[in-house]
Structure formats: C-alpha cells, structure tokens
Amino acid sequence: MRQLYKMTDDFIELQNMLDQNPQDEYIIQTLDSIKLEIDDKAANIVSLMKNITTPIPAIDDEIKRLQELKKSIQNTEKRLKEYLQYQMEKMGIEKIETDLVTIRLQKSPPSLIVDNPNIIPEEYKKTEIIISTKTKELKEALKQGAEVPGCHLVSRKHLRII
C-alpha cells in the first residue's frame, strides 16, 4: 500500500486537474479510487494508534504502583533514620564507626520559626504584586465581539476519532 503523503499529493494534483476539466470521467474515477485508498490508509492508521495505546492504562497503573512503592521505601528509610538518631541521642553516643560505615550526629544549621508574622518589623517583609490575566472573562469578551488590545481568538482543528 502506498504512503498517505503520496496519495495526498496525487489527490491534490487530480483535484487541480479536475478544476480545469470538470467533465473528465477518467480523473473523477481516479479521484474516487484514491479516496478509497486514503480511507483504507486512514482506518489502518487509526488501528495502529489503538494498538500502540492499548498498554497505556497498564503503564499508568504500574507507574502509580511504583510511586507508592517509592514512597513506602522513603518512609521506611526516614523512620529508620529517626529511630537510629533517637537511640544514639538517648545513649549519648555522637559517633559510631564500623568497617562498612561511619555514623555521626551532626549539628544542623539554625532553622527560622516565625511565631507571629504580624509583629515582624517591616524591614524584614517584602511585598509582591502578582498580575494575572482573567483568561475566561477575556475569551468570553472576545467571543462577544469586543476588541481587546494584545490578544485575539484563534480557531484550530483537531483530529477526532469516533
């Protein structure tokens, strides 16, 4: 079977020829024949798309399962680390050295805790201005015929397979 782009080129060429000779029966029959080929090719492409996308739900399920497994492993690691730290602190041990690993308690840099943000002096505050576009309202205004500088509506086509 020929490639779709070649059939498309032939179809367009024959349509142009038909514009010049609207009564040419040979061109009309050839166009009909190519149209059938195009229909078959399009159906085959859709079948291929369906075959390719069949495993997507299973892949999504596997991704979810692996993400849950990852989270479980991370939580176990965190609990074991907290457990070991707690026991070392309880015994007053700062460092453990073995042939395989060295473990030590290390002082972390200080963390800031804000108890009451309302009483912090202005010199330690910042003001941010966030400007965003009201896209839904803007789109509706343009649909109603309003002219708004800096934007416009564009209509596109997309492929729908039924």
For residues 126-153, give the mean pLDDT.
Answer: 94
Residue 59, both tokens:
């892949």
C-alpha–C-alpha distance, residues 31 and 40, integer Å: 14
pLDDT of residue 136: 95
The helix (run of H) or strand (run of E) holding residue 104 is strand 102-104
Residue type, 28: I
Condensed to tens digits (0 to 9), the pLDDT of residues 56-80 reads 999 999 999 999 999 999 999 999 9
Provide, rounded to the nearest whole percent, the portion of the chain with pLDDT above 90. 90
Q: What is the mean pLDDT of residues 116-128?
A: 93
Token digits for 7? 């059939």
Judged against a pLDDT cut of 90, whether residue 2 lies above it is answered with no
pLDDT score at 21: 85
Lowest model confidence (mean pLDDT) among 109-113, 126-130, 157-161: 157-161
pLDDT value at residue 11? 92
Task: Please tell me the distance from the alpha carbon of residue 87 to that of residue 96, in angstroms, as a whole number.
Answer: 12
Mean predicted confidence (pLDDT) in 133-137: 94
Question: What is the structure's pLDDT at 160?
Answer: 81
